[in-house]
């Protein structure tokens, strides 16, 4: 299942992230893709809020340190692989432990590590339409990914029956 969405502002992108974050359970994985400025970090800020990270905790792109952990209802592991220079660096930061840990992973620029993408999770692609508008595609990997897409669809479009 794939959800195709439009966000008309950074606030809408964060609200979408908040809904996704509220659905997360330990072990969940989200891969984000999109060019610089597409809204990956903005979406992650909303995901963090939904995962119970305190509003006082700054959620920023960990471009230079690759990984940050934000404590919340569940820990949120935020990775930015833009500056990743080698696959071996993933082992150095404990990527496999993070993916199988007690929190949820959000991985910006995940396409740099296609060989290390789990068999369960979400892939979210963000595309710039114009200065504020973004086209967002949410697709699931495996059963858990499908469950997350279904849960998000229900939150966005509640059934009336």
Domain range holding 41? 2-155
Specify the number of domains making up the chain: 1
Asked, for residue 160, whether it belongs to a domain, the answer is no
The alpha-carbon radius of gyration of the chain (Å, integer) is 15
The per-residue pLDDT for range 48-81, each reduced to its tens digit, is: 999 999 999 989 876 667 788 999 999 999 988 8
The per-residue pLDDT for range 2-54, each reduced to its tens digit, is: 999 999 999 999 999 999 999 999 999 999 999 999 999 999 999 999 999 99
Asked, for residue 161, whether it belongs to a domain, the answer is no
DSSP 112: G
Look at 161 and 57; give whichever has higher pLDDT.
57
Picking from 145, 105, 154, 130, the residue whose alpha carbon sits closest to that of residue 7 is 130
Token pair listed for 8: 């008309």
Distance CA 68, CA 77 (A): 6
With bands split at pLDDT 50, 70 and 90, how would you rate the model's confidence at 84? confident
Asked, for residue 70, whether it belongs to a domain, the answer is yes
Q: Which CATH number goes with the domain that contains 37?
A: 3.40.50.300
Token pair listed for 37: 């400025």
pTM for this entry: 0.92
Task: Check if the beta carbon of residue 30 is closer than 8 Å to that of residue 20.
Answer: yes
pLDDT, mean over the chain: 90
Distance CA 40, CA 42 (A): 5
């Amino acid at each position: 299942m794939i959800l195709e969405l439009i966000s008309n502002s950074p606030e809408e992108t964060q609200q979408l992230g908040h809904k996704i974050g509220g659905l997360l359970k330990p072990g969940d994985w989200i891969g984000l893709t999109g060019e610089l400025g597409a809204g990956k970090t903005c979406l992650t800020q909303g995901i963090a809020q939904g995962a119970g990270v305190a509003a006082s905790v700054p959620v920023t792109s960990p471009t230079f340190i690759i990984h940050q952990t934000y404590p919340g209802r569940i820990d949120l592991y935020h990775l930015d692989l833009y500056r990743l220079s080698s696959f071996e660096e993933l082992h150095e930061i404990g990527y496999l432990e993070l993916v199988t840990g007690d929190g949820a992973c959000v991985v910006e620029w995940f396409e740099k590590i296609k060989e290390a993408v789990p068999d369960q999770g979400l892939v979210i692609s963000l595309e710039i339409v114009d200065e504020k508008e973004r086209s967002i595609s949410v697709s699931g990997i495996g059963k858990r990914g499908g469950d997350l897409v279904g849960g998000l669809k229900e939150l966005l479009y509640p059934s009336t029956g």
